[in-house]
Amino acid sequence: MKIANSMLGFNISAKGLSVQRKKMNLISENIANADTIRTQNGEPYRRKTLSVIQNDFAINNGFELEGRKIQLNVSNKNHIGNPRMGGQVMNESNDGLSFDVNVDERKGEIVHMPEHPDADEKGYVEMSNVNIITEMVDMIAATRSYEANLTALNSSKQMAKDSLEI
C-alpha cells in the first residue's frame, strides 16, 4: 500500500500543536489582564477565547492500492469531505482550520471602591470578567492537549524512522 502523503500524521499533529499554542497564548493574556479595570477603550478587560472551526477537507485523497485510488464513502457532509461532493483537499495552502478570537461580553464583578478614579457616581467600579481559576483549568487542559499532540508527533516520527530501517 502506497501512501502519497506520508507526512499526513506530522501535519495533523503540527496543527494540533499550533491550536493549543494559540489557546495558551490567549489564556496567558487573560491571566495577565485579569486585574485590568480600564483598557484603551475605557472599559474593563474582557475575557478572550479561541474558537477553532474545521473546514471540509478530503483525508482520503492520498491513498493508493495497486495503482487504484481508494475513496472513502461519505454519508454525511459533516463527516470527512469528499472532493467529488465539493470538499476541499488538505494541503499546505489550505490547512482546513479557521480561527476566531471571541470576546466574552459578560459584565465583570461590581466592587465598591469610592476612592478609585474609575468609580461611578455611586462609588462602584466594574472589574474584569476574567476568573483566574477558570483560566488555570483551561491552561491545564490546553497543556495536556499540547502534550498529547507532541506524543502523537513523536510516535509518527518513530514509525517513519522504523520504516526506514526495514
Which residue's entry shows cell 483537499?
89
Contacts of 83 (CB under 8 A, 6+ apart): 58, 61, 89
Which class for 20: exposed (0-12), middle (13-18), buried (19 or more C-beta within 10 A)?
buried
Q: What is the pLDDT of residues 124-166, one digit of tens each?
A: 999 999 999 999 999 999 999 999 999 999 998 898 888 888 8
Q: Higher model confidence: residue 113 or residue 69?
A: 113
Q: What is the pLDDT of residues 11-21, one digit of tens each?
A: 888 888 999 99
- CB contact at 8 A, 82 and 74: yes
Residue 125 to residue 115: CA distance in whole angstroms: 10
Q: What is the reported pLDDT for 118?
A: 85
Which residue's entry shows cell 483525508?
59
Residue 78 to residue 75: CA distance in whole angstroms: 9
- CB contact at 8 A, 47 and 145: no
Q: Higher model confidence: residue 97 or residue 65?
A: 97
Q: What is the reported pLDDT for 94?
A: 42
| CA 164 to centroid of chain Cα atoms | 33
The DSSP annotation for 114-138 comes to TTSTT--TTSEEEPP---HHHHHHH
- CB contact at 8 A, 15 and 97: yes
